[in-house]
């Protein structure tokens, strides 16, 4: 979300509501999740209240072990959640 002037990740769940609409993950090989993993997550699209991302997960040796895509909506809160009550950052 950095390319959008005035919008930061710190706003998530504070002044912005995000909600995944579709998530898909494919595991291509066995993977030890206790080992070092690298993931790349480029944003394909961000606009009109939607974001689309794709990602690939690699082992330390560079082996591709999984890939994923995600589509989510992003909306501004009409009212700051802290003003409504029951808000928690935990």
Does pLDDT of 74 surpass 90?
no
In angstroms, rounded to a whole number, what is the distance separating the alpha carbons of residues 86 and 90? 11
**Quick one: what percent of the chain has pLDDT higher than 70?**
84
**In the predicted model, what is the mean pLDDT of residues 31-57?**
92
* DSSP per-residue string spanning 71-88: EEEEEE-SS-HHHHS---
This model's pTM is above 0.75 = no
Identify the structural domains of the chain with CATH numbers, from first to last.
Answer: 9-77 (3.10.129.10)
**How far out from the chain centre does Cα 23 lie?**
10
């Amino acid at each position: 979300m950095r390319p959008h002037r005035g919008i930061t990740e710190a706003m998530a769940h504070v002044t912005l509501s995000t909600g995944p609409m579709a998530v898909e993950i494919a595991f291509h090989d066995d993977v030890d999740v206790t080992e070092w993993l690298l993931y790349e997550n480029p944003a394909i699209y961000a606009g009109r209240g939607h974001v689309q991302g794709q990602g690939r997960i690699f082992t330390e040796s560079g082996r591709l072990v999984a890939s994923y895509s995600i589509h989510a909506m992003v909306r501004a809160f009409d009212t700051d959640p802290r003003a409504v009550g029951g808000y928690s950052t935990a």
